[in-house]
Chain A
Amino acid sequence: MTISTNVEASREQRNSSDQYPSRIARAASVLSGTALAALGLTRRGWTRTTLAASGGYLVYRGITGKAAPYKGAVRVAFTIDRPTEEVYSFVRDPQNWPRFLQGIEMEPGQEGSLKLSLGKPAGLDICSEAIVTDERDHEHIAWSSLPGALQHRGVIRFRRAPANRGTEISVAFEYRVPAGPVGRALGLLVGWDPEQLVRESLRHLKQLLEAGEIPTTLGQPSGARGVKGKALRVIYREREDEEIRLAGD
């Protein structure tokens, strides 16, 4: 079976900003890597090494400018202990989207298209429109972005997991962020690179369907946090209303 993510129109239009090395896309890479690396660097020992290494890669990419524009491919899979039909219908229902999407806002647009917006947590609003290019009930949904600054296409697949473990849901997609405000905004999502946004969204989906709620510490009491502790509250999702501004912003 082939699943198509073809949008005829998007084929012809090539974003001109692809042509030159993008300083801003580089900044985006530095910034989103920085949060993870910063979390790592404030810690000692092996924690530091592990966290800094995973965040550090993005920083490295940013500094060396090797891979502008900012693009990537992401694969994330979760097993949800619910029947495939249930998971599929839940995902297909726009009313549920705000309940599990993390850092991405999505709503139905004109003629079956999807309107996405990113960057709100960083005070920006980056929009993208996508259409479903291929779909089979309870099996897959493929999408592709319409011409615009942010390019992405991918497939969500639903499969019965072995041994009655429910449903394997996977998302595989590619994206490309050119120069300009889009790259900048993505960078400001402090630590939430596209992979992380999708992974945490799927995790929330699993938690909602299995546990009926998304675990949280948002709003719990704590003692005096100190300066560093305050900044880290956002990373630990104890507070959402405080924004982190990283160096250079």
Chain B
Amino acid sequence: MKALCWQGKNNVQVETVDDPKVLNPRDAIVRITRTAICGSDLHIYDGYIPTMEPGDILGHEFMGEVVEVGSEVKRLKVGDRVVVPFTIACGNCYYCKNQLWSLCDNSNPNAWIAEKMYGYSPSGLFGYSHMLGGYAGGQAQYARVPFAEVGPIKVPDGLSDEQVLFLSDIFPTGYMGAENCDIKSGDVIAIWGCGAVGQFAIRSAFMLGAEKVIAIDRFLERLNLARKANADVLNYNEVDDVVEELKWMTGGRGPDACIDAVGMEAHAHSVPALYDRAKQAMMLSFDRPLVLRQAIQACRKGGVVSIPGVYGGFLDKIPFGAAMNKGLTLRMGQTHMMKYMQPLLERVQKAEIDPSFVITHRLSLEEAPQAYETFRDKEQQCIKVVLDPWKEAKAA
């Protein structure tokens, strides 16, 4: 089959590789009909995710048709159309039983490496480094899906691939980012990052009762898309101080909750940001936590800082004194996918939301290497790329 493989920093290539096989009794093989590129993939692309190796197949947002099942898979059958969540979970451990799916005890074959880094290992993920499982990802024509009865959700007839694809990650991720804010009606929520995750967080915050959402970014097309959802927007390139500006916009109180939907590669040109970049370049630190710093600083007393944006290692100069003395609550984590897929699918079915609104680019797998570059540089007003792994590349 064809698959998109990581070959080093800023280098991804479409290669011909073996088709995946059932390896364990609870596996299924899915023929992928649509797959997407995520902001998380950019962290890999830019070389910030440890234990990536040349040849690793990327991709964790995919859906398709079941073409083979292992001997222990009863609930799924060949021919089922499914969306596959990016977290892999066994369904039986303490964490799975308590809806903390992205912390599953039993799905990471390389748990010992993660334990060295983090003390304990989170769940395995598709296409997201060896430390987090080393599973071949879904920017490919087929994928092997472990614990296939636990994760994949069957798609009801009448919904298109594009309407349900983002149940694989970004819709639940944005939703959990908002849910973690403990929103009460009338709350004001500030959201850094108007990428796909931010866009879903904005819409979810309104669904959960927020009165006002302030969306922060610098790309106009992204801010415009936020505005379409009735968010107030803040272009951080046009203000001196984001924290002061938020204070001004919230009657001097500060947002009730802040969402960091940017993560480890925050952009800026201020002095602390240059310092972060230098440290990242020297490999002293992987993360540039500029947005997290701002979110903690801006949040009102007793508020919540919710962090769906991904961080990998040690963060420098986090104003922890502010967090402590303002009595903030910090919530974070990879999304507990299986908790959200069914309820959010129902919202899609009831036409409360059509997640395909974020798609700006529809391409073939062959075009993925170029698409990574375009998406990284936010060129061509790119917000979300969806790939059809079976489509022939457009003749050049």
Contacts and interface: CB of A to CB of B under 8 A. Distances in A.
Contacts of A220: 20-21, 23, 135-136, 144
Interface stretch (A11-19, A86-94, A119-127, A208-216): A208-216
Interface stretch (B88-96, B193-201, B346-354): B88-96
A43 interface: yes
Interface in A151-165: 165
Task: Tell me the dominant secondary structure on chain B's binding face.
Answer: loop
B108 interface: yes
Given A45-B285, A54-B116, A213-B25, A222 B90 contact: no
A225 B170 CA distance: 30
Given A212-B72, A220-B20, A45 B53 contact: no
A237 B7 contact: no
A26 interface: no
Pick from B19, B72, B109, B146 the residue with the most CB of A within 10 Å.
Answer: B109
Interface stretch (A27-35, A137-145, A172-180, A198-206): A198-206
A44 B283 contact: yes
B279 to A, nearest CB: 9
Contacts of B369: none
Nearest to B47: A44
A122 to B, nearest CB: 19
Contacts, number: 141
Contacts of A51: 113, 116
B333 interface: no
A46 B15 contact: no
Given A207-B106, A223-B5, A50 B72 contact: no
B229 interface: no
Given A165-B94, A226-B54, A50 B117 contact: yes
25 contacts: A43-B50, A45-B286, A46-B286, A46-B313, A47-B117, A166-B94, A207-B90, A210-B106, A213-B72, A215-B90, A215-B124, A216-B109, A217-B23, A219-B21, A220-B20, A220-B135, A221-B1, A221-B18, A221-B19, A222-B5, A222-B56, A223-B7, A223-B15, A223-B57, A224-B5
Given A45-B283, A225-B53, 17 more contacts: A43-B50, A45-B285, A51-B113, A54-B116, A81-B97, A199-B112, A200-B112, A207-B106, A210-B105, A216-B23, A217-B136, A219-B23, A221-B136, A222-B57, A223-B54, A225-B54, A232-B53
Which 10 pairs between the two chains have the least Cβ-Cβ distance?
A223-B5, A211-B90, A45-B283, A47-B50, A223-B55, A223-B15, A221-B18, A211-B106, A221-B17, A225-B55
